[in-house]
Amino acid sequence: MPNLGEFASYLVGLVTDAVGSSSMRLGAAPTVAILLVLLVLLSLVARPGARWVASDLGGLARVGRKMALAAESGADATVSLGSAGVSRAASATDRFQTLAALPLLGHVADAAARAGVPLRVTTNDPVAALLAQATLAAAHQRTATPERASTTAVEYVGEGRSAAAAFALASAQPHGVAAVAGGLAEDALLVLDGVLGDAEWSLAATASGSQAAGPLLSGDGSLVGPAFFQAEGEIGRGGHARTVVLAANRLIWGTIGLLLVGSLLAWAGAPQVAAFLTGR
């Protein structure tokens, strides 16, 4: 059995030896400047709020407008958290999808609260129901609409995947906005068809690989596989962040295009433009 103390002292010794046998190549100020540039680059890449990707995964940016249209037409909204639950006897990956669906529920709940659209959330797991209630309460708190909390509800539909599917089919009706987000299994198409049905706008999201076709066939917007988890970082971003990322993406594509064209010109024997521009 390895000794943790010895391991820690070995690591500390390794670091102190490396520091002791090193010296700065460029001096203090240039080193700090390089580290700052590196830090900025890392923060751009690592922080979901400003990563170098701008897309509208699953059409989530449209939820606000669709909810406003639902308010105008007097329609309601519904969200199903899939059939995996949190405390049910499903695989860990499936159950984790229920947790990953909560930010999506928050996004839809924010839009529903702002537009004053009644929102109903269904789940086949009581713990997921508690989490959904907390998410809805947080949405009304964020949007300062506590008076509209009475129009939102979380319903526990009973235990089992078949219960979720049967409830979805039995309570099928046209909704303004409908979403299914979470772990799904053999019940996927039944739940998707029952909940999404003839909704004005629908979102289907699951990371269950075996059910990838269901969301692609059933929802106006769909999140399949990794995109389901990726969406959490995409929602709630301000317009300015999206604009900056779009501009950066165009800059990157422009640079790549310039490099390719320049390389092709150089390969074809054209004069060295880069050498002319840089004076070398």
Partner 1 sequence: MRRSILTGVVLVTGLLVLLDLMIVNPSLHGAAGAVNELLVLLAAAAAVGGGATLAAHHARTLAAGDGDSTASIVLLVGMASMLVAGLRPGSSGSSDPAVLWLVAALLAPIAASLFALLFVFLLAAIRRGFALRLRETSLMAGAVAVVIVLLLPIGGQAGDWLAAGAGWVRDVPLAGVFRGLLIGTGILVAVSAARSLVGLDPDDD
**Residue 144 is a binding residue for partner 1 (CB under 8 A):** no
151 binds partner 1 (CB under 8 A): no
Neighbours of 143 (CB within 10 A): 16
**Number of neighbouring beta carbons within 10 Å of residue 4:** 8
Strands 152-156 and 177-181: unpaired
Q: How far apart are CB 220 and partner 1 at their closest, in Å?
A: 6
Closest CA to 85 of 135, 128, 130: 128
Nearer to partner 1, 71 or 88 (CB): 88
Any idea which residue has 């303004």 for tokens?
Answer: 176
Considering only 87, 91, 173, 243, the residue that binds partner 1 (CB under 8 A) is: 87
Minimum distance, C-beta of residue 93 to partner 1, in the bound complex (Å): 6
CA–CA gap between residue 134 and residue 141 (Å, rounded): 10
Is 8 near partner 1 (CB under 8 A)? no
Per CB under 8 A, 213 contacts partner 1: yes
Residue 186 interacting with partner 1 (CB under 8 A): yes
Quickly count: other Cβ atoms within 10 Å of residue 54's Cβ: 17
187 CA to centre of own chain: 24
Q: How far is the CB of 14 from partner 1 (least distance, A)?
A: 20
- CB 74 → partner 1: shortest distance, Å? 19
Q: Are 170 and 195 in contact (CB under 8 A)?
A: no
Of 96 and 266, the one with the shorter C-beta distance to partner 1 is 96
Question: Can residue 177 be called a binding residue for partner 1 (CB under 8 A)?
Answer: no
Q: CB nearer to partner 1: give 71 or 97.
A: 97
The reply to whether 130 sits near partner 1 by the rule CB under 8 A is yes
200 binds partner 1 (CB under 8 A): no
- Whichever of 92 and 277 has its CB closer to partner 1, that residue is 92
Least distance to partner 1, CB of residue 199, Å: 11
End-to-end CA distance of the chain: 62
Q: Is residue 174 close enough to count as binding partner 1 by CB under 8 A?
A: no
- Least Å distance between CB 254 and partner 1? 27
Q: Looking at 34, 38, 99, 270, which residue binds partner 1 (CB under 8 A)? A: 99
**Of the residues 54, 64, 96, 172, which one makes contact with partner 1 according to CB under 8 A:** 96
Q: Where in 34-73 is the site for partner 1 (CB under 8 A)? A: 47-49
Q: Which residues of 205-244 are buried (b: 16+ CB within 10 A; e: fewer)?
A: bbbbeebeebbeebbbbbbbeebbebbbebbebeeeebee
Tokens, residue 258: 């310039």
How many C-beta atoms lie closer than 10 Å to residue 173's C-beta? 13
Q: Say if residues 202 and 218 touch (Cβ distance below 8 Å).
A: yes
Return d(Cα 216, Cα 212) in angstroms, integer: 7
Site residues (vs partner 1, CB under 8 A): 1, 4, 47-49, 86-87, 93, 96, 99-100, 103, 125-127, 129-130, 155-160, 162, 165-166, 169-170, 186-187, 189-190, 192-193, 207, 209-210, 212-214, 216-220, 224-226, 228-230, 232-233, 235-236
